[in-house]
Amino acid sequence: MAETIKKLDELVGLCKRRGFIFQSSEIYGGLASCYDYGPLGAELKRNVKNAWWKSVVQMRDDMVGLDCSILMHPMIWKASGHVDKFADLICECKKCNTRSRVDHLEGKEQGETSRHAQTAPTDDLSDKVCPSCGAVGQFTEPMPFKLMFETQMGANADDAMTVFLRPETAQGIFANYRNVLDSSRIRVPFGIAQIGKSFRNEVTTKAFIFRTREFEQMEIEFFCEPGTDEDWWQHWKDARMQWYLNLGIRKENLRFRPHDDDELAHYAKACVDVEYRFPFGSGDWQELEGIANRTDFDLRQHQRGMRSVTKWIENGRDTINTPLVDEHPDYQSGPLSFFDDQNRKRYIPYVIEPSAGADRGTLAFLVDAYAEEEVKGEKRNVLRFHPTLAPIKCAILPLVKKEGMPDIARNIYQDLRRHFNCFYDEKSAIGRRYRRQDEAGTPFCVCVDGQTLEDQTVTVRDRDSMEQIRVSTDQLKNHLREKLDM
């Protein structure tokens, strides 16, 4: 464990030093659990999101994309159950007044339990340790703590209301499912994908960008006929695991963990987590993505929500105190039902939801890629990113700043950057420049040297093997595009 925690500390250091990830508002002393992506980090996270979008939207006939606003009608969150149920069970230390999530408290002898291994309110906290002051068993009774951020919308008293920052992007998809069906040729079974920010006032944040209060999700809601849902669930489990493997995460660091019945979210019939072996927490294995069978819960709830809006207006737009009207007895024919014109039947589709975190995924790709090696008696830090994810695909380096080498290198740089992200560097010794690119995870370095002047070839250095081959400049673009699969 000490080794792995050291690995995370060193990775955090590298992320700051090389401009991957910074603490938010650092010049003001920082804002807890919020992070900013620097120049390399912004490229990396964008590549993670693009790879996800390519795999789930671009490469599939049965998927389309969506980009919803973060602020939505507050009754959406009433219907989804978040207004009433989206809370963590917390307790307060009587000694230091620090609040902790009950399911995160460790006993004197034990490590942290999983997020989903919820401790029931009646559970004994007498041997639990306060993570802040170390007092044992000094806790108040557990109480619910609401996780949604609230804000006020509207300047006039008669239309002002409390709205919520979305805690998941999923509800924007359910709210637009009818729009998508009506405006495209797509038919059930089909899915809608969305990438966007979500916000949760998490009680305990931890481990760098693993659990933060503002984060980005990559979510799919896949609509299918009831009865076919279990097959689709299996399909998405396989597809999503394969995505991580294809992008280079080592198999031994990934696993599925099915949820027990008592830890399922209120909307789910079944759920499995894709877990990654992160280098923190006593259990190591932590959730990377959840793949849930949400049944027809959300669409049915939104049919109730839609019918409750008049009551909400009459009630002064008070979302918390406006109950949802009962479900219509003929809900299967409601406005969010689907008519299958080939088989002449109408139903509310079931939904399979693969829900991944873009930041948590980025952290897993960083952790998995990070290695420390000794090369000829010197330490080398390297990020072995899959080329698709690497922030910079190729660095172009003149060996020395003379004999016309910078001009040739700059020309190569101008040509290659039209195809993929490149970096030009002529400062410091060549060995140091290679090391800097290894740390940035750049798969290839092109060096213009003395021989280039004679035979128009350059060296191409491979980040992982550190081997160099000579490639003629007129073949360089094709050579790299093939290697990078771009």
Binding flag, residue 295, ligand GAP (CB under 6 A): no
Binding flag, residue 192, ligand GAP (CB under 6 A): no
Binding flag, residue 391, ligand GAP (CB under 6 A): no
Stretch that binds ligand GAP, among 39-47, 210-218, 444-452, 462-470 (CB under 6 A): 210-218
Tell me the residue nearest to ligand GAP as measured from the CB: 357
Binding flag, residue 302, ligand GAP (CB under 6 A): no
| Nearest approach, Cβ of residue 171 and ligand GAP (Å) | 8
| Nearest approach, Cβ of residue 471 and ligand GAP (Å) | 40
Binding flag, residue 289, ligand GAP (CB under 6 A): yes
Longest dimension (CA), the chain: 83
User: Partners of 219 in the beta sheet?
Assistant: 194, 355
| Nearest approach, Cβ of residue 13 and ligand GAP (Å) | 21
| CA–CA distance, 375 with 373 (Å, rounded to integer) | 6
> Secondary structure of the chain in the HEC alphabet?
CHHHHHHHHHHHHHHHHCCCEEECCHHHCCCCCCEEECHHHHHHHHHHHHHHHHHHHHCCCCEEEECCCCECCHHHHHHHCHHHHCEEEEEEECCCCCEEEHHHCEECCCCCCCCCCCCCCCCCCCCEECCCCCCECCECCCEEEECCCEEEECCCCCCCEEEEECCCCHHHHHHHHHHHHHHCCCCCCEEEEEEEEEECCCCCCECCCCECCEEEEEEEEEEECCCCHHHHHHHHHHHHHHHHHHCCCCHHHEEEEECCHHHCCCCCCEEEEEEEECCCCCCCEEEEEEEEEEECHHHHHHHHHHHCHHHHHHCCCCCCCCCCCCCCCCHHHCCCCEEECCCCEEECCEEEEEEEEHHHHHHHHHHHHEEEEEECCEEEEEECCCCCCCCCCEEEEECCCCCCHHHHHHHHHHHHCCCCCEEECCCCCHHHHHHHHHHHCCCEEEEECHHHHHHCEEEEEECCCCCEEEEEHHHHHHHHHHHHCC
Binding flag, residue 195, ligand GAP (CB under 6 A): no
Binding flag, residue 73, ligand GAP (CB under 6 A): no
| Nearest approach, Cβ of residue 288 and ligand GAP (Å) | 6
Binding-site string for ligand GAP from residue 10 to residue 49, where x marks contact by CB under 6 A and - marks none: ----------------------------------------
Q: Edge-to-edge strands of the sheet including 468-472? A: 422-424, 394-398, 444-448, 457-462, 468-472
Stretch that binds ligand GAP, among 11-19, 85-93, 126-134, 287-295 (CB under 6 A): 287-295
Binding flag, residue 287, ligand GAP (CB under 6 A): yes
Binding-site string for ligand GAP from residue 134 to residue 173, where x marks contact by CB under 6 A and - marks none: ----------------------------------x-x---
Residue 482 tokens read as: 């093939």
| Nearest approach, Cβ of residue 204 and ligand GAP (Å) | 10
| Nearest approach, Cβ of residue 169 and ligand GAP (Å) | 7
Binding flag, residue 355, ligand GAP (CB under 6 A): yes
Stretch that binds ligand GAP, among 81-89, 127-135, 215-223, 320-328 (CB under 6 A): 215-223
| Nearest approach, Cβ of residue 289 and ligand GAP (Å) | 5
Within residues 217-246, the interface with ligand GAP by CB under 6 A covers 217, 219
Binding flag, residue 357, ligand GAP (CB under 6 A): yes
Binding flag, residue 388, ligand GAP (CB under 6 A): no
Amino acid at 33: S
| Nearest approach, Cβ of residue 217 and ligand GAP (Å) | 5
Residue 156 tokens read as: 């006039």
Stretch that binds ligand GAP, among 148-156, 207-215, 369-377, 423-431 (CB under 6 A): 207-215
- Smaller CB distance to ligand GAP: residue 349 or 387? 349
Binding flag, residue 286, ligand GAP (CB under 6 A): no
Binding residues with ligand GAP: total (CB under 6 A): 19
| Nearest approach, Cβ of residue 32 and ligand GAP (Å) | 13
| Nearest approach, Cβ of residue 267 and ligand GAP (Å) | 9
- Smaller CB distance to ligand GAP: residue 268 or 466? 268
Write out the residues near ligand GAP by the rule CB under 6 A: 168, 170, 200, 202, 211-212, 215, 217, 219, 287-290, 353, 355-357, 359-360
